[in-house]
Amino acid sequence: MYRRAFVAALVAAMVFATPAFAITAKEKMDTCKFGAADQKLTGKKEQDFVKKCMASERAPAPAAKAK
């Protein structure tokens, strides 16, 4: 019984984690360009932002500071 629960939990964790890593280069480029447009970057600044964005690895968001 515990084995089935463990396997079910493992499968569920894998299923929910998979979409976070399922991003293509085109989707990443679109996201980076959207970020540049959102910040109203143009020219060299936009190119630098997109280049840095495309080179970055997926990282967890920084933790919010408690007040």
Total number of domains constituting the chain: 1
Question: pTM of the prediction?
Answer: 0.52
Residue 18 located in a structural domain: no
Token couple for 17 = 């984690």
In a domain? residue 35: yes
Does residue 16 fall inside a structural domain? Answer: no
Write out the DSSP string of 12-38: HHHHHHHHHH---HHHHHHHHHHHHHH
Position 50 in a domain: yes
Sign of CA dihedral 49, 50, 51, 57: positive
Residue 7 within any structural domain of the chain: no
43 Ramachandran zone, left/alpha/beta (phi>0; psi -120 to 50): left
Is 52 among the domain residues? Answer: yes
39 is a domain residue: yes
Query: Using one digit for the tens of pLDDT, what is the confidence trace for 7-66?
Result: 677 666 655 544 445 578 899 999 999 999 999 999 999 999 999 998 886 655 555 666
Host domain of residue 48: 23-56
